[in-house]
Structure 1
Amino acid sequence: MESMDMNLLAALDALLAEGSVTGAARRLGLSSSAMSRTLARLRSATGDPLLVRAGRGLVPTPRAAELRDRVHELTREVRAVLTPNAADLDVASLERTFTIRASEGFVGLFAAPLVAAVADAAPYARLRFAPKPDKDAFPLRDGEIDLEIGVPGASAPEVRTRFIFRDDFIGVVCVGHPLLTGGVTAERYAQCRHVVASRKGAASGPVDDALNELGLRREIVAVVPGFPDAMRIARHTDLVALVPRSCLSGPTNADPIGQGLVGFDLPVRTPEITISAMWHPRMDADPAHRWLRETLMAVCHGALPRR
């Protein structure tokens, strides 16, 4: 492969089509002398004169005549491989399974409208939602998943990201909870019992750091894997849950999981959450993958209220 020059294939195609060094040079935008040197290289590579003098012109050898159609087809195929795919994607006939890795909270918020949008436009396409136990980029690199949804990490700098929306944390309690009477202060918030959601089982986070700066500490009595679990517990107990605001303001507000709950602004400041779509750069130019990304963005932006 180190000695193979694919430019020779295009040059041979031009020479055999034109039957002239001058004509082939004009077609490829080269000088006649450069094309003559290329013909010499082709003769050496093929072991055949290819074009020989006949009067004032050149005529192909039997070997060149035999190669003409084959070389032209090869050249066409190479150009097709090395040219961006400009053909329109026929979404209606797309048969493909897309794997999306996202948290349980994101699936609860957006899976239903996303599945509906995909099914409406591409009835033969399928979506597979995979659990998100960590931020490991290997499944993206290995092609196991097509899209990752979440907070971008620093472990895979080559991964492409596209901002979807910003979120922040709020407190959630059941209807009639005593905390809702008289105003939510840091002291009253810390005095309550709490349930937190953490994939890794961590019992503290930015809220606890902010409370510690005020000399306060909350009592955490339960740690669950996902935000929907925390919301279910809060609905049936006096525990205070900490969840993203989108869990109550997004499409889930019509879901039973959000019913019977009241959200409130935290009495301490916590960092915003940036939710993004992530994919491997090899999928950048894939028409079907690009369509999936655009569909996802449209669904998310259409489902969440403006802030």
Structure 2
Amino acid sequence: MEPKHLDIFLLRCLTALISEAHVTRAALRMGMTQPAMSATLARLRALFNDPLLVRTEKGMVATARALALAESVRQGIALIDHALVPHDAFDAARADKRFDVAATESVGFVLIPALIAHLRAVAPGLRLRSHVPELARASHELEEGYSDLLISFMRPVPDGLHVSLLLRQKLAVIAARHHPDVRGSVDLEQYTRWPHVYYTRGREGNATLEATVDEALAAVGLDRRIGAWQPSILSSAAVVAASDMLATVPEHLARHFEATAGVQVLPPPVPMPDVDIAMYWHDRMHKDPAHQWLRGALRDVAARVRAA
């Protein structure tokens, strides 16, 4: 292979293909059509004299050659990106720029509207595109520049990422305002007897929040009945309001549902740890002035949410 036949865009496509192991998803990440990405994959295969991705019963998987290339290519792209970043002071009030933020649903519900309102007030030329991440690939999204920030429940930090705590929330139980049995408080017997609405994250399975609740019950030798599984924590509140089921959600969400969805908010009948919301970013963006400004703005927004 002649290196002169490779350009930075081809290398970005290569990392997207290896990370996604799926031509259509890689095309979406790169803003291309699926046929264009298929043609790019064919070109890369010819350049590297390797299939790079091969089809199996479980879908496409990267070859050994592709996996060996992946980390070096990502590091090279990060170095190029860093070299091209302007290091002048960032004037947010005049800037015309889009930030891409990955935020889990409940976290986004609490912080993203407040962040957008803040941007409109102090930096109207800044725009925000947010999406719900597939957490298994979230670190790759940050590494490859698909996301500028990840806002999520706090979790172990992979190499190459920075983390900053934004918000600490207690958990609360919600029940219908006119529940047949639960009124003003919920004891452990009621909590385990009445069915729960369980928030699931699509193909990834149980949400971190639900695992936290299950672990707290397991610590006292109990578990709970699941009456419904919902892909959205917001729809969970609607199910609770219309039924005799319970749900356990972060307190900021619970108070919103109390005011809008006809539910009562109750303390859990068993000790449960607080849930921490943090933001994560890749090392290549750590010193970028625009990114530093965004992180500061998000910290300010989180402080106002905490004080509300």
1:279–1:212 distance in 2 versus 1, CA, 3 Å: closer
AA in 1 matched with 2:224: R
The alpha carbon displacement at 1:201 in A equals 3.3
CA–CA distance in 1 between the matches of 2:276 and 2:306? 14
The alpha carbon displacement at 1:189 in A equals 1.0
Q: Does 1:248 align with 2:254?
A: yes
Give the structure 2 partner of residue 190 of structure 1: 192
Contact 1:196 1:241 (C-alpha < 8 Å) held by counterparts: yes
Q: Does 1:227 align with 2:230?
A: no
Deviations 1:205-224 (A, max 9, x none): 34334434545432101111
The alpha carbon displacement at 1:253 in A equals 5.8
CA–CA distance in 1 between the matches of 2:278 and 2:216? 26
Higher radius of gyration, 1 or 2: 1
AA in 1 matched with 2:206: A
Give the structure 2 partner of residue 25 of structure 1: none
CA–CA distance in 2 between the matches of 1:180 and 1:158? 47
Number of aligned residue pairs: 221
1:276–1:215 distance in 2 versus 1, CA, 3 Å: closer
Q: Does 1:239 align with 2:245?
A: yes
CA–CA distance in 1 between the matches of 2:157 and 2:91? 35
AA in 1 matched with 2:205: G
AA in 1 matched with 2:288: D
The alpha carbon displacement at 1:264 in A equals 0.9
The alpha carbon displacement at 1:289 in A equals 0.9
Give the structure 2 partner of residue 29 of structure 1: none
CA–CA distance in 1 between the matches of 2:110 and 2:103? 11
Give the structure 2 partner of residue 278 of structure 1: 280
Give the structure 2 partner of residue 111 of structure 1: 112
SS of residue in 2 equivalent to 1:93: coil
AA in 1 matched with 2:187: T
The alpha carbon displacement at 1:130 in A equals 1.2
Picking from 202, 205, 209, the partner of 1:201 is: 205
Q: CA RMSD in A?
A: 2.6
SS of residue in 2 equivalent to 1:118: helix
- Which deviates the most, 211-220 or 236-245? 211-220
1:155–1:106 distance in 2 versus 1, CA, 3 Å: closer
The alpha carbon displacement at 1:116 in A equals 1.3
Give the structure 2 partner of residue 90 of structure 1: 91
SS of residue in 2 equivalent to 1:304: helix
Q: Does 1:265 align with 2:267?
A: yes
Give the structure 1 partner of residue 36 of structure 2: none
CA–CA distance in 1 between the matches of 2:110 and 2:251? 11
SS of residue in 1 equivalent to 2:191: helix
Deviations 1:58-117 (A, max 9, x none): xxxxxxxxxxxxxxxxxxxxxxx89x94x4322122111100100111222222221111
AA in 2 matched with 1:181: R
1:266–1:193 distance in 2 versus 1, CA, 3 Å: same
CA–CA distance in 1 between the matches of 2:169 and 2:159? 23
Give the structure 2 partner of residue 291 of structure 1: 293
Deviations 1:161-213 (A, max 9, x none): 11101123221111122343374211111111110112133396343344345
1:240–1:254 distance in 2 versus 1, CA, 3 Å: closer
Gaps of 5+ in 2: 1-82
The alpha carbon displacement at 1:152 in A equals 3.8
CA–CA distance in 1 between the matches of 2:229 and 2:257? 23
Give the structure 2 partner of residue 151 of structure 1: 153
CA–CA distance in 2 between the matches of 1:279 and 1:100? 10
Give the structure 1 partner of residue 7 of structure 2: none
Give the structure 2 partner of residue 76 of structure 1: none
1:255–1:290 distance in 2 versus 1, CA, 3 Å: farther
Q: Percent identity?
A: 29
CA–CA distance in 2 between the matches of 1:288 and 1:305? 26
SS of residue in 2 equivalent to 1:91: coil
AA in 1 matched with 2:305: A
The alpha carbon displacement at 1:242 in A equals 1.4
1:286–1:209 distance in 2 versus 1, CA, 3 Å: closer
AA in 1 matched with 2:131: A
Gaps of 5+ in 1: 1-80
Give the structure 2 partner of residue 23 of structure 1: none
Contact 2:174 2:266 (C-alpha < 8 Å) held by counterparts: yes
Give the structure 2 partner of residue 69 of structure 1: none
Q: TM-score, normalised by structure 1?
A: 0.65
